[in-house]
């Protein structure tokens, strides 16, 4: 299932996104979560909680889903 995250600013950090999609309960848990779990940004393994995610990027969290970053005001394609 295709899920979107609407950016209110130019970017969000990976830690902020993990909290936004309820994978972690607090920002402090991001470092631990990324050390213990696999997360992909645009198909590449990522373990930096401060990684900036911009509109057009894709985040894959196995067991949680695939998330697409979109800028506020841009049309969202919900067809997939």
Digit-coded pLDDT (tens) for 4-17: 999 999 999 999 99
pLDDT of residue 67: 96
Residue where the block lists tokens 């909680």: 49
The predicted model gives 50-58 an average pLDDT of 97
* Main-chain dihedrals φ then ψ at residue 73, nearest 5 degrees: 95, -15
φ/ψ of residue 15, rounded to 5: -60, -40
| Separation of alpha carbons 11 and 18, rounded Å | 14
Domain ranges of the chain: 2-71
Q: What is the largest CA-CA distance in the chain?
A: 35
Answer for the pair 26, 19: CB distance below 8 angstroms, yes or no. Answer: yes
Query: pTM of whole model > 0.85?
Result: yes
Classify domain 2-71 by CATH number.
Answer: 3.10.290.10
Residues above pLDDT 90, as percent of the chain? 81
């Amino acid at each position: 299932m295709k899920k979107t995250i609407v950016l209110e600013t130019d970017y969000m950090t990976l830690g902020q996104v993990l909290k936004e999609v309820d994978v972690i309960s607090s920002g402090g848990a991001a470092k631990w979560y990324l050390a213990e779990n696999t997360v992909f940004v645009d198909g590449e393994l990522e373990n930096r909680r401060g990684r900036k995610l911009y509109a057009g990027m894709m985040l894959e969290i196995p067991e949680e889903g695939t998330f697409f970053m979109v800028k506020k005001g841009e049309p969202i394609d919900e067809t997939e």
